[in-house]
Amino acid sequence: MSEKTRIYLQPWPIRIWHWINASGIIILILSGAQIRFPETLSIFSSYKSAIEVHNTAGIIVAISFSFWFFYYKMVKNTLDKLYIPDEEDIKHGLVRQLLYYCFWYFLGRPSPYHATPDHKFNPMQKSAYLAVMFVLMPLVGLTGILLLNVTPLRVLVLMWGGIKVIVALHFLLACSLLAFLCTHVYLATLGDYIKPMLIGWEDVEEHEEVEPAPEVVIPGYRPVRHYPEYERALLEQRHS
């Protein structure tokens, strides 16, 4: 038998950072689209206004990114633990979570991973956030800085292949970020991910702790023992 318990999953500094960052990225996408396609889109009052809004939003996102890195690395010291997949995530967790998103969710099966304050992200989230936060965001920011004021950074611009190369790279990186944002929003609807980012708390089911028994073999399951689903399966088999 299980009962509901509340866990404090998202502290207020991260919630504030998340929504500032999300708003900034959306503004960057809208203003960037008008800058890229000025003859087709007219979201802001003028082309010049779109550039000013884009530059301002870019600076805000860059500052918020620095805050995110400082908070998790210096204050909480959990950056590596939260965002870098471990060996078990790579061997078993990625496949299990992918199967859940593609098939098990639509069959009504529970998620194989349940967030805790120390382990907020499932293996797929870790992999995606690792790529986005440590590769995509820095590259978008770097190319954006090079385009922000070309003249003082002329040597760096030429080192990267010229202004056209940087513009093309910045646009492709922005498209990748847009694709991630759409996927991120969709996957957030597959679980209770939005509520904790609004109020910080998440309601979870509390299950009886079960010590894993090496001699028990569950068909179709690998021994990923930190998954509550595995522990429940062990419990059901022992009581059957």
Instruction: Give 149-176 pLDDT, tens digit per residue.
Output: 777 777 878 887 888 899 999 999 999 9
Query: What residue type is assigned to position 101 of the chain?
Result: Y
Pairwise CA distance, residues 162 & 155, whole Å: 9
Count Cβ atoms below 10 Å from residue 202 Cβ, excluding itself.
Answer: 22
Residue 56 CB partners (closer than 8 Å, separation 6+) = none
Count Cβ atoms below 10 Å from residue 44 Cβ, excluding itself.
Answer: 18
Instruction: Give percent of the chain with pLDDT exceeding 70.
Output: 83
Cα end-to-end span (Å), the chain: 15
Count Cβ atoms below 10 Å from residue 205 Cβ, excluding itself.
Answer: 12
- State the average pLDDT over residues 26-34: 96
Q: Where are the alpha helices (DSSP H) in the chain?
A: 12-36, 47-70, 79-83, 87-88, 94-102, 123-131, 137-148, 154-159, 163-188, 194-199, 228-239
Count Cβ atoms below 10 Å from residue 196 Cβ, excluding itself.
Answer: 19
What is the reported pLDDT for 215?
A: 43
What is the reported pLDDT for 204?
A: 73
- State the average pLDDT over residues 62-79: 93
Pairwise CA distance, residues 80 & 225, whole Å: 21
Pairwise CA distance, residues 167 & 233, whole Å: 53
Q: Please say whether the beta carbons of 192 and 214 come within 8 A.
A: no
Q: Please say whether the beta carbons of 61 and 21 come within 8 A.
A: yes
Q: Which of 36-40, 144-148, 200-204 has the highest mean pLDDT?
A: 36-40
pLDDT at 232 over 90: no
What is the reported pLDDT for 209?
A: 46
Higher pLDDT among residues 217 and 130, named by residue: 130
Pairwise CA distance, residues 239 & 114, whole Å: 23
Question: At residue 149, what are phi and psi to the nearest 5 degrees?
Answer: -150, 95
Q: Which residue has the tokens 């995606």?
A: 128
Nearest to 11 by CA among 71, 66, 85: 71
